[in-house]
């Protein structure tokens, strides 16, 4: 399975959107149900499982270090309390992120995926500056190992100006941002599943409309998540049937391969 997923990853990054077959499967926060989110243990597990892209979240600490944490605070995912940007790297990494795992620095994750053929999708959380992340990626020689998840057209334009060779995905808050992201040079758009899933009242025609503009469509499961394995599989199947180019999910292990 691993070789097939990695081959599909190459197709989807290099080929036009219309040439894509089965969607690229993206492990959201780097994990499935068996591991703790945004930890190196989760990343190792997902790499071994053959998932070609691991989405993760980048935040900056009080002393300017880059760590992987979804929330503004460490409260939910560690045994500590406080805002990430009020804590130093040493203070964050002293916390237990589950089963004895530590909160990774971005540098650790870049080094972990090196040579594996796995890509990190870096969700640039609000308040995370682009320059130090870009500098770290360059210093680690990780340009081919990352995709930048960009949250504003202004930041997308900045990335395109500073590093037009690097890949980017627009993490749109609303479809109204589509034109601005496209003008900023982004060609892959991440949509919420509720925007396009007919079972959630979404408009499935959006996928074909964006692809007709030469754009690729990645979809993130949410914001209301399925409750059972059966519901996860059914939701995945509905989205895949729409012809999306990439599917980001908390349960990549429950994506059924297309026949």
Whether residue 15 has pLDDT greater than 50: no
| pLDDT interval class at 211 (50, 70, 90) | very high
| pLDDT interval class at 194 (50, 70, 90) | very high
| pLDDT interval class at 13 (50, 70, 90) | very low
- CA-to-CA distance for 32 and 143, rounded, in angstroms? 26
- Read off the pLDDT of each residue in 36-51 and give the average, rounded to a whole number: 97
| pLDDT interval class at 258 (50, 70, 90) | low
Whether residue 3 has pLDDT greater than 60: no
- CA-to-CA distance for 152 and 230, rounded, in angstroms? 35
Higher-confidence residue of 10 and 115: namely: 115
Whether residue 134 has pLDDT greater than 60: yes
- Read off the pLDDT of each residue in 60-72 and give the average, rounded to a whole number: 98
| pLDDT interval class at 4 (50, 70, 90) | very low
Instruction: Provide the β-strand partners of residue 43.
Output: none
Residues 6+ apart with CB under 8 A from 124: 58, 130, 133, 148, 149, 150, 151, 155
**Buried residues in 221-241 as b, exposed as e (16+ CB within 10 A):** beeeebeeeeebeebbebbbe
Residue 120 · residue 84 · CB < 8 Å: no
- Read off the pLDDT of each residue in 37-53 and give the average, rounded to a whole number: 97
Report pLDDT for 10: 42
Report pLDDT for 47: 97
- Read off the pLDDT of each residue in 192-211 and give the average, rounded to a whole number: 97
- CA-to-CA distance for 127 and 13, rounded, in angstroms? 28
Pairing mode, if any, of strands 119-124 and 246-249? unpaired
| pLDDT interval class at 6 (50, 70, 90) | very low
- CA-to-CA distance for 35 and 68, rounded, in angstroms? 15
- Read off the pLDDT of each residue in 131-148 and give the average, rounded to a whole number: 98
- CA-to-CA distance for 186 and 160, rounded, in angstroms? 8
- CA-to-CA distance for 145 and 110, rounded, in angstroms? 7
Pairing mode, if any, of strands 146-150 and 216-220? unpaired
Whether residue 12 has pLDDT greater than 80: no
**What are the C-alpha distances in Å from 28 to residues 32, 38, 43, 70, 251?**
8, 9, 10, 11, 8
| pLDDT interval class at 17 (50, 70, 90) | very low
Report pLDDT for 257: 60
CATH architecture of 2-154+166-229+238-254: Alpha-Beta Barrel (3.20)
Report pLDDT for 57: 98
Q: What angle separates helix 130-139 from helix 153-162, to the nearest 10 degrees?
A: 30
């Amino acid at each position: 399975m691993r070789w097939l997923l990695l081959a599909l990853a190459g197709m989807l990054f290099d080929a036009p959107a219309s040439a894509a077959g089965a969607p690229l499967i993206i492990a959201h926060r780097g994990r499935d149900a068996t591991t703790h989110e945004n930890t190196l243990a989760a990343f190792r597990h997902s790499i071994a499982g053959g998932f070609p892209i691991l989405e993760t979240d980048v935040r900056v600490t009080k002393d300017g270090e880059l760590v992987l944490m979804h929330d503004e605070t460490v409260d939910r995912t560690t045994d500590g309390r406080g805002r990430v940007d009020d804590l130093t790297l040493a203070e964050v990494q002293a916390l237990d992120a589950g089963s004895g795992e530590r909160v990774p620095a971005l540098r650790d994750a870049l080094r972990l995926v090196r040579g594996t053929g796995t890509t990190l999708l870096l969700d640039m959380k609000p308040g995370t500056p682009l320059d130090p992340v870009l500098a770290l990626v360059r210093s680690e020689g990780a340009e081919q190992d990352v995709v930048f998840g960009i949250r504003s057209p202004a930041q997308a334009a900045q990335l395109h100006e500073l590093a037009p060779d690097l890949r980017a995905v627009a993490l749109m808050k609303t479809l109204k941002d589509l034109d601005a992201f496209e003008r900023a040079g982004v060609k892959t758009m991440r949509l919420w599943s509720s925007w396009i899933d007919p079972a959630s009242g979404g408009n499935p025609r959006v996928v074909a409309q964006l692809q007709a503009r030469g754009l690729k469509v990645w979809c993130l499961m949410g914001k209301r998540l399925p409750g059972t394995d059966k519901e996860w599989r059914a939701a995945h199947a509905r989205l895949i049937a729409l012809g999306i180019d990439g599917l980001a999910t908390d349960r990549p292990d429950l994506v059924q391969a297309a026949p």
